[in-house]
Amino acid sequence: MAQETIFSKIIRREIPADIVFQDDKVTAFRDISPQAPTHILIIPNKLIPTINDITEQDETLLGHMMIVAAKIANQEGIDESGYRLIMNCNKDAGQEVFHIHMHLLGGKNLGRLIG
Ligand code: 5GP
């Protein structure tokens, strides 16, 4: 049984977060420590600890996360200027919260991804 994280409490609105979108499948909220003018986390409401735990049953859910990300980018006015979506998996990628999440970053030139 996967261990709940603080993100489950955010989904259930038990702790405060700046939620910008929520439906029956996903929740999106502003990162508490933004690395860009727009920094939003898009997470499934269902607890999946890492990308390694995604199954084929989650295919539609993952596609929905991407569609929601594009809609939020449009709402934020960064769809044309550009943005970056990042998902970290485990230690070497620096994953800190073990409830998968997609970072949506934009609002400035983000530079090169690596190096
Ligand atoms: P990771 O490094 O796991 O990919 O990213 C975790 C992200 O979650 C970090 O960018 C961190 O700032 C954010 N985060 C951690 N705890 C909280 C929280 O309680 N509220 C919000 N809004 N963001 C959080």
Residue-wise pLDDT for 20-36, tens only, equals 999 999 999 999 999 99
Q: Which of 44, 48, 52, 34 is nearest to 104 (CA)?
A: 34
Residue 77 lies inside a defined structural domain of this protein:
yes
In this structure, the number of other CB atoms found within 10 A of the CB of residue 102 comes to 20
Confirm if 47 and 2 have CB atoms less than 8 A apart.
Answer: yes
Residue 115 lies inside a defined structural domain of this protein:
no
Residue 1 lies inside a defined structural domain of this protein:
no
Active-site annotation holds for 39: no
**Domain total in the chain:** 1
Give the domain extent around 55: 6-106
Residue 112 lies inside a defined structural domain of this protein:
no
Residue 69 lies inside a defined structural domain of this protein:
yes
Residue 114 lies inside a defined structural domain of this protein:
no
Ligand 1 center to 41 CA (angstroms): 8
**Residue 15 CA: which ligand 1 atom is closest?**
19
Q: What confidence category does residue 1 fall into, taking pLDDT thresholds of 50, 70 and 90?
A: confident
Global pTM? 0.97
In this structure, the number of other CB atoms found within 10 A of the CB of residue 97 comes to 13
What residues contact residue 100 under an 8 Å CB cut-off, 6+ apart? 43, 44, 48, 49, 50, 51, 53, 54, 87
Is residue 7 predicted with pLDDT exceeding 70? yes
Residue-wise pLDDT for 59-88, tens only, equals 999 999 999 999 999 999 999 999 999 999
Which CATH number covers residue 87? 3.30.428.10
